[in-house]
């Protein structure tokens, strides 16, 4: 048996993180709430956006005739147009949290996907290059 002193270790809880509530705004006009957000929001809502487009507020509006669809996608071009005209680059992602009597969504910094390095172009032999150039000069490739 080894003499391990468990009190010396720094322990980490590996239970799953609670899912984040998010809104994704696409270039095509979709304003989509993810599943945790759909489950937290009431079915009848009203959406407000600050002029700078960086903060969104969602409140319950029982008087509204509009109900949040099961898909979570609100297709309202005026919402997306306002965000776009405020200078927000689309697609955009907002993280939501419950605050007082509303849900507040804050714009997240855009994520850039790393592209794999471009493959080096294949080099052709000198004779093949000369052959191609000769064909081009004589009337093109067929």
Alpha helices in the chain (DSSP H): 35-40, 77-85, 126-137
The domain total for the chain is: 1
**Separation between Cα atoms, residue 33 and residue 69, nearest integer Å:** 10
Residue 6 lies in a domain: no
Q: Classify residue 90: in a domain, yes or no.
A: yes
Residue 45 within a domain: yes
pTM, two decimals, is 0.67
Q: Which domain holds residue 89?
A: 21-107
Condensed to tens digits (0 to 9), the pLDDT of residues 60-76 reads 999 988 888 889 998 88
- Pick left, alpha or beta for residue 108 (phi over 0 → left; psi -120 to 50 → alpha; otherwise beta): beta
**126-141 per-position pLDDT tens digit:** 888 888 888 888 876 5
Compute, in degrees rounded to 10, the torsion defined by CA atoms 49, 102, 91, 80. -40
């Amino acid at each position: 048996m080894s003499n391990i002193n468990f009190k010396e270790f720094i322990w980490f809880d590996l239970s799953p993180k609670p899912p984040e509530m998010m809104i994704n705004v696409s270039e095509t006009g979709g304003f989509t709430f993810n599943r945790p957000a759909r489950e937290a929001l009431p079915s009848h809502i009203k959406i407000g956006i600050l002029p700078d487009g960086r903060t969104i507020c969602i409140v319950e509006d029982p008087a509204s005739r509009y109900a949040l669809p099961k898909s979570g996608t609100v297709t309202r071009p005026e919402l997306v147009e306002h965000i776009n005209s405020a200078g927000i680059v689309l697609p955009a992602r907002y993280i939501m949290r419950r605050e007082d009597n509303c849900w507040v969504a804050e714009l997240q910094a855009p994520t850039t996907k790393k592209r794999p390095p471009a493959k080096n172009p294949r080099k052709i032999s000198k004779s093949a290059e000369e052959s191609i150039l000769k064909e081009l000069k004589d009337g093109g490739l067929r």
